[in-house]
Amino acid sequence: MFFLTKLVGVAGLFLGMTVLAGENPQTEGQKTAKKPTDSKKVSVLRNVYKRELKLYPRNRIEEIEKVLKKIPADAITQFLTSPRVVEEDEIDASPYVFEFVGEHFLGGAGTRIYVRSILEPTTLDYAIYRKGDPYYSPDSKELLGYAALYLGNAKLQREGDPATLMITKSNREIKRGDRLMEVPQVKSTVNFFPEIPKVNVEGNILSVLNGVSQIGKYNIVVIDKGTVDDMKVGYILDIHQRGRIVADRMSDDNDNSMVQLPDEIAGTLMIFRPFKRVSYALVVKATNTIHILDKVKTPEHARFE
């Protein structure tokens, strides 16, 4: 297959690039003269052609940018500061609710609480969490962290042991043993700038937030890659539905041969809040059913040297 490539540079104008597998490009004059092609020119042309191929991901980015403009504002905003993923020792060492002011068994907005212990506070504003499910790597079985379930907010009224705080907001009832952590300083914005990762990523979907059973467009998922894996806000990853193992009922084998089906592209996600070992990501495109433990990978057209 022949096509023309135009190159303007310090070397001048070269026309008539021939791209054939295993064959060096030649101009018509070179074919007639039976002379070898200038290797430097071929090298330059090949490098330009290679760079042009690397520009292809821009189409994906433009597509994602259009999708982001249509996302409802609260699809991401509530997840920028509320729920979080913490290390086990981080949440276990946090101050905890051990009693309520007055004869209360549960707390809500307007309830005052006693907390052990806040001795040298650096802020007056705290978020209240409950230790949730652990996240494990499907591959290494390593503990990656715990979900910290957001319950509400409280404002410090008196430091000490116990300290006294007023619950200013509650999404759920506050119980004894719930933990307090400083409100994370996260930039609250939905103006993301999607980009293809500069690293090769191969991970898995660990969970979906808000307790939905099926994962679709605009759902928030947790993946097993974080800042230690060089994950950044805006990174785009393809979702691959894991291929099922099915019986070949047409096989001559009486036991029905089991066949592993290939993985299939099921959608696209964008990382918007990376933690140390895991990240929150928004499903921006869903072309097939998505499940927990489906794979996430760097888009196939992104290659690294």
Q: Read off the amino acid at residue 128.
A: I
Q: Which helix (H) or strand (E) segment is 226 a member of?
A: none
C-alpha pair distances (Å), 101 with each of 121, 140, 161, 167, 179:
21, 46, 14, 11, 17
C-alpha pair distances (Å), 271 with each of 146, 212, 275:
18, 19, 10
> Looking at residue 198, what is its pLDDT?
85
pLDDT tens for the chain, 305 residues: list them. 433 343 334 334 333 333 333 444 444 444 444 444 455 544 544 444 444 434 445 677 777 777 777 676 667 887 887 889 999 899 999 999 999 999 889 999 999 999 998 999 999 999 999 999 999 999 999 999 999 999 999 999 999 999 999 999 999 999 999 999 998 776 555 678 889 998 899 999 999 987 777 899 989 999 999 999 999 999 999 999 988 888 887 777 666 688 888 989 999 999 999 999 999 999 999 999 899 999 999 997 654 44
Number of other CB atoms surrounding residue 140 within 10 Å: 9
Classified as helix, coil or strand, 264 is strand
* pTM listed for this prediction: 0.74
Classified as helix, coil or strand, 86 is strand
Number of other CB atoms surrounding residue 130 within 10 Å: 16
Name the residue ranges covered by the structural domains of the chain.
7-54, 57-71+190-297, 80-182
